Structure 1
Amino acid sequence: MTDPVTTTDEQPVPPDQILVGGLWRRGGGEVMTPTNPATGEVITELAGASVADVREAVEAGRLAAADPSWANLTPHERARYLHRIADLLERRAAGIAALQTLNTGKTLAETRALVASAVGTFRYTAAALETGDGELTTPRGPYLTMTVQEPFGVVGAITPWNSPIASDAQKVAPALAAGNAVLLKPAAWTPLVSLALGRAITDAGLPPGLVSVLPGGGATVGDAIVRDPAVGMVSFTGGTSTGRHIAGIAAEKLMPVSLELGGKSPTIVFADADLEQTVAGILYGIFSSTGQSCIAGSRVFIAREVYDDVLRALSEATRALRVGPGDDPRTQVAPLVHHRHRDGVAAAVDRARAEGARVVCGGGVPEGETFANGAYYLPTILDGVGNDAAVCQEEIFGPVAVVLPFDDEDDLVRQANDSVFGLACGIWTGDYRRAWRVARRIQAGTVWINTYKQLSIATPFGGVKESGLGTEKGRHGIRTYSRTKAVYWGLDEAPLPWAR
């Protein structure tokens, strides 16, 4: 078995090939030029997928999913493939992490954790598949009733640029476990790691055609995947506007979708919170991943009686964060994924200034030769505006936190819930009764109490309001990618009375 990805910390660059229906070949679409966010240099040129490539991949996936060599596998036989993929990813982890740092700018510590997360996802999903049972439902007549799970056939998996490999695995693993073929479309800015995942999948011996990796633009490749009549389900992680567009197409097709969308998550600090733990948690919640996280704690609500003390400690700790390239082990805040995205973050801060926000710290591009050509932005704290300001209502997706005071619990809940988003929330307090009470009142899919941004493949994840539809992960995450069929076994020896 060949190993096209190095197992050292060198930065391997995949060849100019994409995976279409089981074949590695040059794509027929537009040429993409992934860049290194730390330097602005082009890493490679890669021809993305065309609409014709998508159509070919769909047809190959349809045939592969229906082939008895795959469709008739028992769960434990499908699980073996997932374990093989996990083993290959683990063997190639160092090289894949280095590649992701090169393409996304993330720190090596983070990209190594993301590869480990992908490995864990395939293994957990394999275990869930082997131990997942159907249901024998309670009969209400002379019959035996049960449910079985069946695949959709071909599934579209559209993943974001901020956490490739981990996001890819969270869709590909359960989709395969359910028996589907998968069309994986990574973001145009960060296609390289998804292609490395595709190599591991094909090298694991998965039947050809079950997985295609189709990099390209959302308006062309993504749209072609979602609209194709043979695609029976789509899972999307990304921006709310794109998610709404996909949901519209899905409504026309009467096709199920799973949508993990934007967030503007509140982090809540009560007066009795442990200051050291709270500050560390807030920093990690907003500035790790350079703020490029849908669950980033970007609205920080602080009880008014401790507002000044917490803000002072938070700003001092923020100024001490080390900004630098992702391959420097000292770096805590790496460059953003692309210069265009960095410029968008900077523009959002400028708009906040125009609204009357005060820049407590950060608020600009760092100076110095190290940062001259990279997509860097300083970790930034703003205050002085109300929760109705645009900077508090719109997702920035960068290292920018807005700090706001609150007077009592009702005031806090009203402000925290005053958002179109409802993805996550953090609560810092020593009062477990209050923590539970507020956690239940906050409109969010995930709530952390005295911690933040801890994630587990074993725990379901999803959002409410404009943060998305459906849930992924968890023991029953495979069911997101399958249909439920009811089966009735008649036990009465007499004919149905109506026909007499």
Structure 2
Amino acid sequence: MKNYINGEWTAFSQEEMHVLNPVDGSLLNSVCRSGLEDVEAAVNAAAIAFETWKKTPIQERVQLQKKLAASMRKQSASIGRQLSLELGRPLTACIHEINRSAELLEYYAEEALRMKGYFPLTNVEGEKVLVTREPLGVVVSITPFNYPITLLTFKMGAALVMGCTMVSKPSEDTPLSTLALAACFEEAGYPAGVFNVITGYGKEIGDALVSHPKVTKIAFTGGTSTGAHIAGVAARTHKRITLELGGQSPAILCEDADLDMAVPAIVKHGFANTGQFCYRVNRVYVHESLYEQFCQKMKEATEKLTLGAGIEDNCDLGPMVNEKIFANAFQQIEDAQSKGARILTGGKRRTGGIYEKGFFLEPTLIAEASPEMKIMREETFGPVIGIASFTNEAAAIQEANASPYGLAAYVFSHNIGRGLRIAEQLQAGSVWVNNIQRSYHSVPFGGMKQSGIGREKGIHGLEAYTELKTIYLNY
């Protein structure tokens, strides 16, 4: 498959990269391994398109975005199938990702109509001051493999409706679904160059995109070390950045926690997408009075989960996307075992039959986890959860905050006052108190500390793709 540049399927580089099915390693398709010429063509197309797109009435941009959402819904089964094949996630969840992303596009479109400038009341005769917003320009979106359409939509839905143009660079593991999405732009009738997709990997193409003089903003979701590198390169030309980086999210269960609520919520959230997302529950701190009971209930619930080939859609978890991601999670299991942890369930790679050629890791619970273990310190990005006990609330909060990450956190307590008090002390961009529902489109999402810079979604997500301008009028 070729790149999508300036409304055409084209590629300058003759190199290809293979996209493999993580279930069995079979070849799904080949896409372009883009080079510098592809970067130049895509950025130039976006820069030229921006000059017209920024002047397009916002009502027209809104209508196009709603058409795009409708096209995504119409194609959700086919795009979802493509995503399931390249990621390994169960098919129903992949189709849900496409439809949920279409919802976010519509939310951004409606919210964009409510964006306003204003006149401060200076009360100076013959003078007025106008504060307005303008689109930033060309935006580069760099997204990971785990939720390729959702995480692109976080950025693209806000940028385009506010008048920016975009070059999207998806993960080398899951580029096919993003290329399939580009076809929806054609169906919706977007002008050429407003949205472009180039595929590939490596430092050369990444640095070329981030450092390009015609690019105004970088929107990146991915690893913390890569985010730091991008921030450094972008800073040389003072580019705007939004970074949503790693997480190592804690959950605290107080002595009055409702286990019938907490256990299903943590199991569902911690093992969704085979644990391959950044704000999943990674470690759990349980009051000593509930510890053994919690461990037993978690074990029972986790052992009901099924592993399988995602496209069959008869399982809860699919394979991990590649060997590197699998190895990191498995290493954390081995590290915990070597330091005295107790494996409640799982802990092994599933082999034989349909599992033989894929990286299938059993959903794993690690009890008696301690602070020096990697499972309690490092991002896992896999179906592994560490569990530790605590005696007093202050100690639990201290351990929860003893991390360079600050993306999400979770609290369970029957006492809402206590839950809110703990939530206020947790160093995280989002905190859930009792149960874990999905994040809403209308509220900001992002992290503190090394989990990122800026916020996506909500009105703040739209504002992130605009620049404030003050105009002084004399008359």
Name the CA distance, whole Å, in 2 between partners of 1:323 and 1:272.
33
Distance 2:339 2:375 in 1: 9
Q: Secondary structure at the match of 1:150?
A: strand
> For the Cα contact (< 8 Å) 1:18–1:26, is it kept in 2?
yes
Partner of 2:37: 52
SS at 2:264's partner residue? helix
Q: 2:110 aligns with which of 127, 141, 153?
A: 127
Structure 1 window deviating more from structure 2 (470-479 vs 98-107): it is 470-479
453 and 340 in structure 1: CA distance in 2 versus 1, 3 angstrom threshold: farther
2:90 corresponds to: 107
**Cα distance 1:292–1:453, how it changes in 2: closer, same or farther (>3 A)?**
farther
Does the alignment pair 1:87 with 2:70?
yes
| 2:206 is aligned with 1:222 | yes
Match status 1:23 vs 2:4:
no
TM superposition shift of 1:357: 2.4
**Which residue matches 1:427?**
411
Residues 12, 37 of structure 2: 8 Å contact kept: no
Q: Gaps spanning 5+ residues in structure 1: where? A: 1-15, 492-500
1:29–1:173 CA distance, 2 compared to 1 (3 A): farther
Is residue 76 of structure 1 aligned with residue 59 of structure 2?
Answer: yes
- Separation of aligned partners in 1, 2:12 and 2:440: 35
In structure 2, what is the equivalent of residue 43 of structure 1?
28
Q: Alpha-carbon deviation of 1:321?
A: 0.9
- Size of the alignment, in residue pairs? 474
**Structure 1 residue 152, shift from structure 2 partner:** 1.7
Is the aligned partner of 1:65 residue 2:47? Answer: no
1:288 and 2:264 correspond:
no
Whether 2:390 is the aligned partner of 1:396: answer no
Q: Which amino acid aligns with 1:251?
A: A
Deviation per CA, 1:423-445: give whole Å up to 9, x if none.
00111111100011001000000
Q: SS state of the match for residue 19, structure 1?
A: strand
Alignment of 1:8-407 (within 5 A): 16-28=1-13, 30-67=15-52, 70-139=53-122, 141-142=124-125, 143-407=127-391
Q: CA deviation at 1:387?
A: 2.0
Which whole-Å CA distance do the structure 1 matches of 2:403 and 2:183 have between them? 41
SS at match of 1:313: helix
Contact 2:207 2:233 in 1 (8 A): no
**Cα distance in 2 for residues equivalent to 1:408 and 1:468:** 30
Distance 2:121 2:414 in 1: 45
- Structure 1: distance between partners of 2:425 and 2:123: 38
Q: Distance in 1 between matches of 2:431 and 2:121?
A: 35
Alignment-mate amino acid for residue 378 of structure 2 = E
One-letter code aligned to 1:165: I
- The alpha carbon displacement at 1:408 in A equals 1.3
8 Å CA contact 1:76–1:129 kept in 2: the answer is: no
Paired residue secondary structure (1:79): helix
Note if contact 1:155-1:181 (Cα within 8 Å) is conserved in structure 2: yes
Contact 2:139 2:215 in 1 (8 A): yes
Q: 1:26 to 1:57 in 2, by over 3 A?
A: closer
- Please say if residues 101 and 326 of structure 1, whose CA atoms lie closer than 8 Å, have aligned partners that are also in contact: yes
In structure 2, distance between residues paired with 1:289 and 1:351: 23
- After TM superposition, the runs of 4+ consecutive aligned structure 1 residues lying more than 6 A away are none
Q: What's the CA shift for 1:218?
A: 4.2
Task: Tell me whether 446-455 or 159-168 shows the greater mean CA deviation.
Answer: 446-455
Matched residue type, 1:232: T
Query: For the residues of structure 2 that align with 1:42 and 1:189, how far apart are their CA atoms?
Result: 12
In structure 1, C-alpha distance between the alignment counterparts of 2:264 and 2:107, rounded to whole Å: 30
Please list, as runs of the form range in 1=range in 2, the aligned pairs for 1:452-491 lying within 5 A after superposition. 452=436, 454-490=438-474
Paired residues of 1:30 and 1:216 also in contact (CA < 8 A)? no
Give the direction of change, closer, same or farther, for the CA distance of 1:55–1:26 in structure 2 (3 Å limit).
closer
The CA distance in 1 between the partners of 2:51 and 2:149, in whole Å, is 27
For structure 1, which segment, 358-367 or 372-381, has the greater mean C-alpha deviation from structure 2 after superposition? 358-367
Distance 1:24 1:379, change over 3 A: same
CA–CA separation in structure 2 for the residues paired with 1:138 and 1:326? 59
**For residue 450 of structure 1, what is the aligned residue in structure 2?**
434
Hey, what's the Cα distance between the residues in 1 that align with 2:183 and 2:372?
Answer: 47
Separation (CA, whole Å) in 1 of partners of 2:118 and 2:321: 45
Could you say if the C-alpha distance between residues 216 and 447 of structure 1 is closer, same or farther in structure 2, counting changes exceeding 3 Å? same
**Deviates most, 479-488 or 28-37:** 28-37
- Give the Cα separation in 2 of the matches to 1:423 and 1:33: 33
Q: Deviations over 1:3-24 (max 9, x none)?
A: xxxxxxxxxxxxx111123221
Deviations, residues 442-471 of structure 1 (Å, cap 9, x unaligned): 000001111225112211101000000000
Q: 1:222 to 1:365 in 2, by over 3 A?
A: same
Identity %: 32
CA distance in 1, matches of 2:107, 2:212: 31
Q: Which amino acid aligns with 2:63?
A: R
One-letter amino acid of the structure 2 residue matched with residue 471 of structure 1: R
Q: What's the RMSD between the two structures over aligned residues?
A: 1.4
CA distance in 1, matches of 2:323, 2:60: 45
The amino acid that maps onto 1:267 is A
The one-character-per-residue Cα deviations of 1:205-259 (angstroms, maximum 9, x if unpaired) are 1111111101111413222110101101100000000000011112211111000
Which stretch shows the higher mean deviation, 465-474 or 131-140?
Answer: 131-140
Moved more, 108-117 or 302-311: 108-117
Tell whether the 8 Å contact from 2:11 to 2:38 is kept in structure 1 after alignment: no
Q: TM-score, normalised by structure 2?
A: 0.97
- Pick closer, same or farther for the CA change 1:309–1:84 going to 2, 3 Å: same
Deviations 1:46-101 (A, max 9, x none): 1232111111111111111012xx23221111111101111110111111111100
Structure 1 residues 358-395: Cα deviation after superposition (integer angstroms, max 9, x where no partner) = 22211111244121112210001112232232221111
* Residues 158 and 184 in structure 1, CA contact (< 8 A), matched pair in contact too: yes
Measured against aligned partners, the alpha-carbon deviations of 1:321-365 in whole angstroms (never above 9, x if no partner) come to 111111233311111112332233222322222233222211111
Tell me how far apart the structure 2 counterparts of residues 138 and 404 of structure 1 sit (CA, whole Å).
57
Q: Residue 200 of structure 2: SS of its match in structure 1?
A: coil
CA deviation string 1:256-298 (max 9, x = no partner): 1000000000011112122111110110121011100100101
